[in-house]
Amino acid sequence: MPGFDTGSTLADRMRAHAGDARHLYGELIRAMADDWEAGGPARRICAGWEDAPHGAVVQLRLLAGLFRIVLTDRAPELVPFYPCLGGTAPPDTAWPVVRGVLEAHVDELHEALQTAPQTNEVGRSTALLVGLFEAVRRSGRRRVRLLEPGASAGLNLLVDKFRFVERTWQFGPADSALVLRDGVVGETDPQQFAIVDRRGCDLAPVDPSTPAGQLRLRSFIWPFHVERHKRLTAALSVASAHRVVVDQAPAGEWLERELTKPTDDDTLTVVWQSITRQYWPPGETERVRAAIHAARHDRLVAQVAMEYPADDDPTAMLTLSGLPGDALVTLARVGDHGRPVTLLATA
Ligand SMILES: C[S@@+](CC[C@H](N)C(=O)[O-])C[C@H]1O[C@@H](n2cnc3c(N)ncnc32)[C@H](O)[C@@H]1O
């Protein structure tokens, strides 16, 4: 159970999260807050979570549990409200129907609150590719070993199996199920390279080859983010043909282990990460930094990261560090879901 919060009720925190958003989740979160205060099914589902802090986003855990019920064909009456399933019904008419489904699945939805939000956003592979181009260009090495802490299902480790189509360049197999178009703003310098080894870790790896893993990833993408759902479907298809290992391990401990494994002299090791650092416990960032620093004594290790620079900074940045002669270079500003990647002129 998450930590303790005081001074506001769960309903207050739900309303603060929803604001006045008119999309399906905005409407449902406000209605759930009212229902919680009125002692309806939302109150019973959230029993024991009354003091969960804002960051635990109880309402999103509940809505993901509800979405899993819809995705497993147990609430056909809700399909008309889910745009990713073809629904077009007005979001502000959904609550009475949703309330009935909540009432029918109180125990399952209470259990669903244990599952923390987790996605694997392949839109972020556009940022990774831009970072890889720059790491390859600056290092002159064309064989890459890719390591990703906080990899979730490891989908972005398949970056070279996706197709990227930009105005002046293209990259990746023309027959890839996942085609990412027009994600980069500014001029890149595309490079040829081969990923000779790839591996990830996560505290809670998701297996994208299982129905449960796929359901978990999908249920945390908001149902009206139709393009993200399409991207996930395509990426899962690519992943079904290319298995990637994601070890269950914390970032620092795992990198200490992985970075002491032998590599060929002509290989560039790239540690890549996206939107994971903010979830790391105290000390993890320093342990990761120290592991990479130690490994640099006997090999070239570049670090490509798409992260928010500070807790209160809402703009993710793409950075490259670790190559000889280079301090940390900020390459681009990046949208939350990896697009657009807006290159900075100074990079
Ligand atoms: C928002 S998700 C991002 C996943 C993926 N990097 C992406 O961009 O789609 C954050 C991930 O970090 C993982 N994570 C959190 N703390 C971690 C840690 N200390 N070590 C490794 N992974 C961690 C979570 O389990 C989750 O899968």
Question: In this predicted model, what pLDDT tens digit does every residue of 167-195 receive, in sequence order?
Answer: 999 999 999 999 999 999 999 999 999 99
145 and 284 within one domain: yes
Q: Are 129 and 191 in contact (CB under 8 A)?
A: no
Task: Band the pLDDT of 4: cuts 50, 70, 90.
Answer: very low
pLDDT of 193: 98
Q: Does 3 map to a domain?
A: no
21: containing domain = 10-112
Residue 328 has phi, psi (to 5 degrees) of -70, 130
Q: Is residue 71 located within the same domain as residue 98?
A: yes
Tell whether 328 and 231 lie within a shared domain. yes
Q: Is 117 contained in some domain?
A: no
pLDDT at 2 over 50: no
Distance CA 85, CA 168 (A): 34
CB 194 within 8 A of CB 132: no
**CB burial class (10 A; 0-12, 13-18, 19+) of residue 14?**
buried
Tally of CB atoms within 10 A around 227: 12
- Rounded to the nearest angstrom, the distance between the alpha carbon of 77 and the centre of ligand 1 is 34
State whether 229 and 294 are in the same domain.
yes
What is the Å distance from ligand 1's center to 272 Cα? 12
Does a structural domain hold residue 197? yes
- Cβ atoms of 320 and 328 within 8 Å: the answer is yes
Tokens standing for 107?
A: 């125990």
Tell me the per-residue pLDDT of 288-337, one tens digit each, with 9 for 90 and over: 999 999 999 999 999 999 999 987 788 999 999 999 877 899 999 999 99
Identify the domain boundary among 94, 112, 130.
112
Question: Domain check: are 60 and 136 in the same one?
Answer: no
What pLDDT does 261 receive? 96
User: Could you tell me what percent of the chain has a pLDDT over 90?
Assistant: 93
Query: Is residue 1, in this structure, part of any structural domain at all?
Result: no
- The answer to whether residues 149 and 15 belong to one domain is no
Instruction: Tell whether the model's pLDDT for residue 97 goes beyond 50.
Output: yes
pTM > 0.85: yes or no? yes
- Percentage of the residues of the chain whose pLDDT score is greater than 70: 97
Question: Does residue 291 belong to any structural domain of this protein?
Answer: yes
Report the distance separating Cα 5 and Cα 105, nearest Å: 27
Residue nearest to ligand 1 atom 15, measured at CA? 279
- Tell me what the mean pLDDT of segment 252-272 comes to: 97
- Shared domain check, 145 and 106: no
Q: At which residue do the structure tokens 């949208």 appear?
A: 335
| pLDDT of amino acid 311 | 77
* Residue finishing a domain among 65, 81, 112: 112
Q: How many CB atoms lie within 10 A of CB 48?
A: 9
Burial category of 326 from C-beta neighbours within 10 Å (exposed 0-12, middle 13-18, buried 19 and up) = middle
Q: Average pLDDT of the chain?
A: 95
**DSSP-derived 3-state class of residue 239:** helix
Radius of gyration of the chain (CA): 21
CA 217/CA 221 separation, integer angstroms? 7
Burial category of 268 from C-beta neighbours within 10 Å (exposed 0-12, middle 13-18, buried 19 and up)? buried
Residues 92, 48, single domain; the answer is: yes
User: From the CB of residue 315, how many other CB atoms can be counted at a distance below 10 Å?
Assistant: 11
Check residue 122 and give its pLDDT.
98
Residues 126 and 66 both lie in one domain: no
Q: Is 278 in the pocket of ligand 1 (CB under 6 A)?
A: no
Cβ of 188 below 6 Å from ligand 1: no
b/e sequence 108-130, b meaning 16+ C-beta within 10 Å: ebbebbeeeebbbbbbbbbbbbb
| Same domain (yes/no): 252, 195 | yes
d(CA 153, CA 247): 10
Ligand 1 pocket, 203 CB below 6 A?
yes
Q: Which of 201, 276, 287, 336 to mutate to test ligand 1, by most ligand atoms within 8 A of the CB atom?
A: 276
- Same domain? For 237 and 332 the reply is yes
Which of 146, 152, 256 is the best mutation target for the ligand 1 pocket, counting ligand atoms within 8 Å of the beta carbon and taking the most? Answer: 152
pLDDT surpassing 50 at residue 1: no
Q: Which of 80-84, 156-160, 326-330 has the lowest mean pLDDT?
A: 326-330
- Beta-bridge partners for 144: 195, 268
Cα distances (Å, whole numbers) of residue 104 to 34, 63, 101, 171: 19, 15, 5, 48
Question: Residue 242: what pLDDT?
Answer: 97
pLDDT at position 6, please? 54
255, 330: one domain: yes
Residue entry with tokens 């390279």: 193
CA distance 267 to 135: 12
Confirm if 172 and 161 have CB atoms less than 8 A apart: yes
Q: What is the pLDDT of residue 290?
A: 96
Looking at the structure of the chain, the number of domains it has is: 2
Is 191 domain-assigned?
A: yes
Across the beta sheet with 341-343, the strand order is 184-185, 341-343, 329-334, 316-321, 301-307, 267-274, 143-149, 194-202, 246-248
Domain boundary residue, one of 112, 135, 151: 112
5 lies in a domain?
A: no
Spatial contact of 301 and 324, defined as CB atoms under 8 Å apart: no
pLDDT band at 64 (very low <50, low <70, confident <90, very high): very high
**Residue 4 belongs to some domain of the structure:** no
